[in-house]
Amino acid sequence: MNKTNILRRNLCSHLPQGFSNLVGSCRRTLLRRMLCLFCIGLQASSLFAQNISEIAKSDPLIISGAIGTRNTYRYTSGGASYASPLSNTLFLDLNISLYGFNMPFSLYYSNDNLNFSYPQLSLSMTPQYKNWTGYLGQNSMPFSHYLMNMSFMGAGVEYNAKNWHAGVFYGRLRKAVNDDPTDPLARSPQYKRMAWGFKVGYGNRRNYLDLYLLKAYDVDNSINDLWRSKINAKDNIVIGLKGSLTPLRWMSFTTNAAMSVFSSDITADPIKTEEATKWNNVFDVRYSSLMRFAGDVSMNLMFAGISAHLSYKMVQPDYTSLGLTYMANNYHSLGFNLSTNLFKKVSLSATFSGQEDNLTNRQMYTTRGFIYGANASTRLGDHFMIGANYNGYTQVQGDGTSIVPDSTRIHRQMSSYSLTPSYSTDNDSYSHSASLSLNYTQNFDCNPYATGESDVTTRALGASYTFGVKDWGVDFTLSLSDQRTRGYNSRYQSDIASLSAGRSFLEAKNLHVSLTGNLIYNEVWRQSKSLSMGGNAQASYILNDVHAFSAALSFNKYGDVNLSRLRSDLGNIDFSASLNYTYTFEWKAITKK
């Protein structure tokens, strides 16, 4: 098989170098100043919260929830010993709301198993008054995604006016896990993590500039001494900047960047050089400290019916913010997309993005990935539409600190082509809708030494037709699909045909019934041929918007139909039946007079 030559090139000829070790943990004097500002803002917020009209007008006590049962019977001739043939479940979900404080309860009973959960007392309030928003309890405050995406348990206040906006918070990012170190089943330990931060910005949607600061640190004495000898407490301060500039109506620029100073061990010795000690008023520089950068910039253009977007992103190795649950690092990427409309009928778009890791050339190998695609769609007349799509992906492995052997070098290419024509029409009595889908996918190992064992090609064809009878309120749908996959000395085929119909009854259309029948054939070359036929029926009924009834029956008959075998039949049977009921309620136990 001829391999397609893949164009390889670096996104940048010069990779950024890592910053030298620089920083550590914030001084208490700066923290106290920030807490003073925070407390002043919190006092103002609590004063405003007492006059919030929504709370004053709300009902003091509301009890709401749902109660119901789910019952399912299953039978299989294969004898599924791992599952009970009869499953019965009773459930109760209850929520008690007292002036906005929610206390959820739940009770589940299933096949002699009882599970009861009660509310873990957790306060979450976000009172608002004019331009002010308060945060009390477990909450999330909008921040730069390079700094924080975690919620905090604490307090904060945010101000949003026409042009000015600002916010400050203090709280716990995560609890300590401090199980007994001598317990063989003890959970992995973790320090209690605290954080405070603020943000300030000016501008509107098109032109703005925001500044962020986050200080997060682990509480050293929050876990046992034995645990502390195994894991290190961390410290972190991050400064972020986010902005947008629109010099012209058809041109705009956006940027989002952050600089993180991170200490992986707060017990490491401080650095006492003149260059390091000048940061002591902001951060204790230690031998475990690193300074790293992450950011992105983009440009948007729109003129003459053409829309273009260009973006670049870089995250340095070991970039860390303790306010993030996870963030990939040590890579940079470049992306571009373009879209337009021709003659107000044809939509065209194209996209490309490339990513490369190993920014400091310290990994053994460098990995580059490229994603690209093109789309086109058009409407011909009032009834016919057609779309075409191409997507591709190329992965290339390059040298790092070591030279990649040519025989093991990773070089893969995936290409996918699809075509989707569709036709629809209707009149006062009937509606017709038909569609086709054709897809061809190739996944090749482009290494010249490859034997083709991992190469896979897939061809998929699909057709669907829906016929609606408006006087009956019924839609009949016929669907057909055929998929064939070829690999190294392997072939797979799957064919599916299904016919379904559904209708809503009664004046309120609150009774719905649907029927589906299907036929499935699967073949693994030189191994097996199987056939399955069956169907299902479903019915649902809603009474007075609070009572929901549903029932379902499913029957499937299947087996091996390989004529080369000694026994070939459809002797296997699967059957299931279910009956469900749910009642939802809301009871205002105490109402506002």
240-260 confidence digits (pLDDT tens): 999 999 999 999 999 999 999
Residues 155-190 have pLDDT tens digits of 999 999 999 999 999 999 999 999 888 888 889 999
Please report the pLDDT score of residue 50 as a whole number. Answer: 36
- The Cβ of residue 249 has, within 10 Å, a number of other Cβ atoms equal to 9
**Residue range 123-139: mean pLDDT, rounded:** 86
Q: Is the pLDDT higher at 97 or at 34?
A: 97
Range from 82-96, 370-384, 507-521 carrying the lowest mean pLDDT: 82-96
Q: Report pTM.
A: 0.77
d(CA 251, CA 303): 9
**pLDDT score, position 43:** 35
Name the pLDDT band for 30 (thresholds 50, 70, 90).
very low
Q: Which pLDDT does position 208 carry in this prediction?
A: 97
pLDDT at 589: 66
Give the tens place of pLDDT for each residue, 318-339: 999 999 999 999 999 999 999 9
Greater confidence, 125 or 121? 125
Higher pLDDT, 211 or 562: 211
Domain boundaries, the chain: 18-52+127-287
How many other CB atoms are there within 10 angstroms of residue 573's CB atom?
A: 15
Average pLDDT for 98-116: 73
**pLDDT by residue (tens digit) across 523-578?**
999 888 899 999 999 999 999 999 999 999 999 998 887 765 555 567 789 999 99
The phi, psi pair for 55, rounded to 5°, reads: -70, -40
Statement: residue 20 has pLDDT above 80: no
The pLDDT score that the predictor gives to residue 6 is 31
85 falls in which pLDDT band (50, 70, 90)?
A: confident
Residue-wise over 293-326: b if at least 16 C-beta within 10 A, else e?
Answer: bbbbebebeeeeeeeebebbbbbbbbbbbbbbee
Question: What is the rounded end-to-end Cα distance, in angstroms, of the chain?
Answer: 81
